[in-house]
A and B are shown apart, each in its own frame.
Chain A
Amino acid sequence: MTDPVPLPAGVRDVLPVEAAELRALADALAGAFASFGFREVMTPLIELADVLDRAEEDGVGRAYRLFDDEGRVLVLRPDLTIPVARLVATRMADHPDPVRVAYNARAVRPPVAGKIEGAEQRQAGIELVGLGGPEADAEVIAALATALAAAGVPDARIAIGSVALVSAVLGGVDADPPVRDAMWAALRGRSLVDWREAASAAGADEDAAAVLADLPSLRGGPEVLQRIAAAVPAAAGECDRMADVLRLVALHGVAAPMVDIGVVRDWAYYSGVVIEAYAAGAMAPVAVGGRYDGLAARFGRARPAVGVAVALDLLHHAVGRGAEQPDIGIVLVGGCDQYIGEAAALRARGVAVVALPSDAGDAEALALADGRRFVVRHGAEGWVARDVIGGAEVALSDLGEGPWT
């Protein structure tokens, strides 16, 4: 027996069937993003660790680090938003506002023992830079909804919260800094129990206290925002802004997102609306994002920004098997040697041709393994095609035009 050939923890290979399905999803998302004018950019797989340090982001503590030959610390990008923000702030500093960029790339983070989340995360996302208003938030939400629909998620649901709104509420009830810290910790830890305990120590007056205790459990439509604004006037501005986002999203003609104040992101760079999308069959949100107005300034070109990233692997779980049939490509026995010209002619017509030598053994087994439906041979009676799924011999005319016609 040969020695086992292990992979590093948390990573895996992608075989042809999955690769094709992931590619189809990525193309569907990219097409939807492109229809809003987002253009693809690519950033390097490795960055100087300084880029992450500038982002002042605790969340990137988990990253693979290495040294270059001059001893500088490098990092495998654990996130795409920070590198793309760097790219836009430096390389596209002179680009007229707004900048719309998209990416389809992998972020890499060391796996956590006992967690299902892999080390490599395929992300397809967009960043809208240079527009600070609710119209930009709404556009990103609409682009996300359009993209998820294009990818074939039947029942995606988008929820939006706002870290600015939560901050405004905590400021409005004048919670002490330690209480505030405890409440943020509870929110980020998604513990409504800890939140309520901390909220009871905030010393808010009666109306505000009721809203404060329930804040992360509040969800629904605009009525949620009205209730918060009425109880905590200091948060009225942020509530109005979110109501504007809802109104503008509706004009885009996509399903209304759910307001859910309990939606927050672990990463500190978010400064306004936060976005999550869910789909049945995916264990975690299929897309996350939000507004991060302070990040670009750390790379020397202050501009407001909002973006969202779809987790392709989670999306793949939610979409399930691709609806498309396998390619009606053919396996051509002799395509490697005797009928190279015929194979070339077929390819020129757009037919995928898997070429085999004339003396190939089990062409049907290969066709099944590769997801091809027809095996074509030239025998004593001319061209014959066999349908490997049905087992029947089929008329060549069913395969479209070819050298046999």
Chain B
Amino acid sequence: MDLRICVPLGALFDDALGAMAAVGLPVDPLRDAGRRLIVEVPGGPTYITTRPSDVPTYVESGAADLGIVGRDVLLERQPDVYELADLGFGGCRMSWCTPDGDDPTAGAIERFGVVRVATKYVNCAERFFEETGRKAEIVKVNGSVELAPLVGLSDGIVDLVATGRTLRENGLVEREEIFTSTARLIANRVSHKMQATLMDDLVRRFEEACG
């Protein structure tokens, strides 16, 4: 099988392996990969492991034929790939969150004309505030987003929320849900056509296993 599959490390990794095992892909070599980034299975696919946000890049460029990635990453990166199936796991939501107490959003717009937003998801945040008719000033941060509104860097954050525990621990509350996200199966535009039979068969099995 001449197929390269890009698998996200991190939160989606275990469920991604479970889903791939459920459709009959040999994933045991991937479990025992250690620090190897590429795992070739004799007679099976080649797995490429990357950070979740890099999965669309590898698939769009054709370095991988298939990938598993959260919808949040797809909406942020807008890669030109086929989104073939909703795999169901990795559920979370993208939300606009501000410190507990009165929601500062409307007041910020009224007094300053903009709401200041700290986020890792610059494009999602920008689109959301544009679509809701508000002007946002986006501050890109790369980690510990919750910190930003607590120290006055921003009015709030746009971030992924799974259980809401991190938010609560930092005194933040969800104000508006932007979208919900689950893991998706994506394919390179060319691979999707050149390996049509294999792809269609895999999609059908993923849908049966995850649908």
Task: Report the minimum CB–CB distance from B192 to chain A (whole Å).
Answer: 8
Q: Are A217 and B81 in contact (CB under 8 A)?
A: no
Q: Any chain A CB within 8 A of the CB of B203?
A: yes
Chain B residues within 8 Å of A282, by CB? 62, 190
Let me know if B146 is at the binding interface, CB within 8 A: no
- Beta-carbon contact of A193 and B190 below 8 Å: no
Asked if B62 and A219 make an inter-chain contact with CB atoms under 8 angstroms apart, the answer reads no
CB contacts (< 8 Å) of B84 on chain A: these are 192-193
Chain B, interface size category, equals 20 to 34
| Interface presence of A23 (CB below 8 A) | no
Query: What's the nearest-Cβ distance from chain B to residue A314, in Å?
Result: 9
Q: Which residues of B contact A260 (CB under 8 A)?
A: 193, 196
Chain A residues within 8 Å of chain B by Cβ, number:
25
Per-position binary interface string of chain A over residues 111-154, scored 1 when its CB falls under 8 Å from any chain B CB and 0 otherwise: 00010100000000000000000000000000000000000000
Evaluate contact between B83 and A190: CB separation under 8 angstroms.
Answer: yes
Q: B189 at the A/B interface (Cβ < 8 Å)?
A: yes
B193→A116 contact, CB < 8 A: no
* Chain B residue contacts of A155, Cβ below 8 A: 194
* Residues of B contacting A258 in the complex (Cβ-Cβ under 8 angstroms): 193, 196
Contact bitstring A250-282, B, C-beta under 8 A = 1, else 0: 000000001010100000000000001011111
* Residue pair A217, B80 in contact (C-beta under 8 Å): no
Q: Does B184 contact A (CB under 8 A)?
A: yes
A9 close to B (CB within 8 Å):
no
Q: Are A278 and B190 in contact (CB under 8 A)?
A: yes
Interface centre among A189, A192, A219, A285 (most CB of B within 10 A): A192
Give Cα distance in the complex from A217 to B81, angstroms. 14
Alpha-carbon distance between A157 and B194 when the two chains are bound, in angstroms:
7
Q: In the complex, what's the smallest C-beta–C-beta distance from B85 to chain A, in angstroms?
A: 7
Is B13 part of the contact surface with A, judged by Cβ < 8 Å?
no
Q: Does B61 contact A (CB under 8 A)?
A: yes
Q: Which residues of A are found within 8 Å of B77, using beta-carbon distances?
A: 114
Shortest beta-carbon distance from B64 to chain A in Å: 11
Quick check: B193 and A159 within 8 Å, CB to CB? yes
A184 to chain B, nearest CB (A): 15
B14 within 8 A of A: no
8 Å CB interface, B170-211 against A? 184, 188-190, 193-194, 196, 200, 203
Residues of B contacting A157 in the complex (Cβ-Cβ under 8 angstroms): 193-194
Using an 8 Å CB-CB cutoff, how does the interface string of B78-104 with A read, 1 for contact, 0 for none? Answer: 001111111000000000000000000
Q: Are A284 and B189 in contact (CB under 8 A)?
A: yes
- Chain B hits for A194, CB < 8 A: 83
Q: Say yes or no: is B60 at the interface (Cβ < 8 Å to chain A).
A: yes
Q: Determine if A191 is an interface residue (Cβ-Cβ < 8 Å).
A: yes
Looking at the assembled complex, report how far the CB atom of A191 sits from the nearest CB atom of chain B, in whole angstroms: 4
A281 to B65, CA, bound (A): 11
Once A258-B196, A280-B194 are accepted as A-B contacts, the answer to whether A190 and B85 lie under 8 Å apart by CB is no
B196: A residues at CB distance < 8 A: 219, 258, 260
Q: Cβ of A19 < 8 Å from any Cβ of B?
A: no
Q: Does A360 contact B (CB under 8 A)?
A: no
Is A45 an interface position by the 8 A CB rule? no
| Cβ contact within 8 Å between A284 and B80 | yes
- Asked if A283 is at the interface (CB within 8 A of a chain B CB), the reply is yes
- Does B61 contact A193, Cβ atoms closer than 8 Å? no
Instruction: A260 to B197: give the CA distance in the assembly, Å.
Output: 12
**A303 smallest CB distance to B (angstroms):** 31
Q: Which residue numbers of A lie inside 8 Å of B, CB to CB?
A: 114, 116, 155, 157, 159, 189-194, 217, 219, 258, 260, 262, 276, 278-285
24 CB < 8 A contacts A-B: A114-B77, A116-B60, A116-B61, A159-B193, A190-B81, A190-B83, A191-B83, A192-B82, A192-B85, A193-B86, A194-B83, A217-B203, A260-B196, A276-B193, A278-B189, A278-B190, A278-B193, A278-B194, A279-B194, A282-B190, A283-B61, A283-B190, A284-B189, A285-B190
Closest 5 CB pairs of A and B: A283-B62, A191-B83, A278-B193, A278-B190, A193-B86
Given contacts A193-B86, A283-B62, 10 further A-B pairs with CB under 8 A are: A157-B194, A189-B83, A190-B80, A194-B83, A217-B203, A219-B196, A258-B193, A279-B194, A283-B61, A284-B80
